[in-house]
Amino acid sequence: MARKIGVFATEQQAITAINQLEHAGFTKGELKVLAKDSEHSRRIEAESDVHVDELRELEDVSEHEGNSIFGMAAATGYVSNGTNAVLGMTGYGTAPYTVGGNAFAAAWLLGADEHISALHALGLDDEEAEICKQALQSGSVIVMVETDETKSMFDKDGGPDISRLGAAEAVFRTCSASLIVAGA
């Protein structure tokens, strides 16, 4: 599989890109959209009818597959009497991501590796995952196109890229992508 990744600063830019990609012949199965959380995904799903994977949702799935942060916190002794032990949930007057009142431990447990592992689960390599992690944390929306094309099908002689991924890149440029990454 080959992919092209577009980073968009606004939901509207991502929606326009999705619509133009579909108009160019890409199917929903070839598109993958990532957002930071449900606040950033609702409008895109409503206006494009394409599912948006949320980074926080992906991390929750990763945790349930045996890589549980709560389990690691309990094993390392950072959860005391249960006060503020709910990770990722904040209530009135509590610090986000606090483990047993120890914000340092929570920062260590919820480091960049958690975001990266969730993105690796989507098939992204280290460089792609790092780029997407930074973009998502800043509130950008990621639109990926994955096709069955292989690198050998691309024009290697410096001519125009007439591949389907070349068409996807053209759409990303037209829709003001802030960054375009040629994926694996």
User: pLDDT over 70 for what percent of the chain?
Assistant: 61
* pTM of the model as a whole: 0.68
Mean pLDDT of 133-157: 80
> 160, 54 in Cβ contact below 8 A?
no
Structure tokens at 118: 């969730």
pLDDT at 108 over 80: no
How many angstroms separate the CA atoms of 85 and 49, rounded? 36
What does the pLDDT average to over 96-118?
Answer: 49
Predicted confidence band of residue 93 (pLDDT cuts 50, 70, 90) = very low
Q: Please report the pLDDT score of residue 122 as a whole number.
A: 85
pLDDT of residue 75: 39
Residue 181 has pLDDT above 90, yes or no: yes
**Which whole number is the average pLDDT over 7-17?**
96
Quickly state the pLDDT bin for 151 (edges 50, 70, 90). Answer: low
What stretches of the chain show up as alpha helix (H) in DSSP? 11-23, 38-48, 55-64, 69-76, 103-109, 112-120, 126-137, 164-174
